[in-house]
Amino acid sequence: MGRTELRQKILAVAEEEGVTEAAYALKLLQSDGRLTIATAEKQGDTGRQRTREYTVEGPVAMLLTTTADTPDAELAGRCLVLHVSEQPEQTAAIHARQRAAYTLSGAATDCDTIRGLHQNAQRLLEPLGVVIPWADSLTFRADQTGMRRDHAKYLSLIASITLLHQVQREQVTPRRDGKRCVVATIEDIQWANRLMSHVMGSHLDSLLPQMRQLLVLADDYLQQRSVATETARHELRFTQRELREAIGWSDRPLRRQLARLIELEYVVAYRTGRGNGREYQLLYDGQGRDGQPVLLGLIDPNSLRSKATRSEKKPCTMARTTLQRGEPAPNRHPIRPPSGGLRNQC
């Protein structure tokens, strides 16, 4: 590939197996935003070999599909893994679409035309930076090293949603570099939380009844304790004895179900330094009781509304740009997102 042929493009591969030999290069391209390789080649006039360096610039968005139950762990760590729905309703919808392709109206549908419409719609977007006013207040799980990349995915998802709504969002211009940025809203964070929970979250319905009961009881206990002591939930820790006395369970079932919740990462255990003593912290905060998937550690966006006024005073001086409905943004041109990816450029 040429130096800039992949820059700001989507690299779509039908089967992950097709890039097995190039997996190492793709990982570097995703992590570093560019790929450099040195190769030996012969000179035409002398026949001697010389070293030549080739560079491919990113960033590149990758879209891979696979039927394997366990995709490449290193590549999966750099991507969001979406699973195909296996519900009967989804299968019925696929059957209906297959039958429609053999009807007069279905035969007239051109997939290339639909694809072109999507591409042209994306070209209407401008390569703006993204500012998340409440970035310092956002939370994410931090009990595993793999959450470092997942946290970056979460922030990029918020930025992507904001960028797609750039015409409806407020725009600001930092006077430091003069590059315009679009400002994220609480609604963008709500959508990102919902999508991340759907992709990476777990369902409480998958827990055994006793495990789910203990989880709910422990959540209620910590909620009452948080109100009584005026302490934030994430700062509270408890011992087995405290939990046992609070919910009225006997020792053996409590130990067994608590150990399972630790394995499933709903609870994290800490050594106290006194023999085998341990304290526990509940990562679950009451989400998903209605059957929705839950991703532990995300802040409730509604709690950010009280900080909206204070967050308007940003550390960098901004010149605000207000667009009327239907008014085109100045200097509009085909999309070429910033070379550093979607991030806070202010």
The CA-atom distances, in angstroms, between 303 and each of 298, 307, 310 are: 11, 8, 13
Tell me what the mean pLDDT of segment 7-20 comes to.
83
Stated length of the chain: 346
What is the SS3 string spanning 318-344? EEEECCCCCCCCCCCCCCCCCCCCCCC
Look at residue 342 and tell me if it is in a domain. Answer: no
Question: Is the peptide bond prior to 59 cis by the omega test (within 30 degrees of 0)?
Answer: yes
pLDDT tens-digit map of 181-204: 999 999 999 999 888 887 876 666
> Is the same domain home to 93 and 240?
no
315 and 217 assigned to the same domain: no
291 within some domain: no
Whether 196 and 304 share a structural domain: yes
Whether residues 130 and 240 fall in one domain: no
What does the mean pLDDT of the chain come to?
Answer: 79
Cβ 6 vs Cβ 56: under 8 Å: yes
Residue 341 belongs to a domain:
no
| 261 and 115 inside one domain | no
- b/e string for 7-17 if b means 16 or more Cβ within 10 A? bbeebeeeebe
* Each residue's pLDDT tens digit, 255-272: 999 998 988 888 888 888
| Shared domain check, 163 and 97 | yes
Q: What is the CA radius of gyration of the chain?
A: 25
pLDDT at res. 324: 42
Residue 3 is assigned to a structural domain of this protein: no
Residues 169 and 315 in one domain: yes
| Counted domains in the chain | 3
The pLDDT of 18-41, averaged and rounded, is 85
226 in the same domain as 126: no
The verdict on 129 and 194 lying in the same domain is yes
Q: Domain containing 50: what range?
A: 9-76
| 56 vs 290, more confident | 56
Given 3-state DSSP classes, what are the helix, strand and coil percentages for the chain, each rounded to the nearest 5? 40, 15, 45
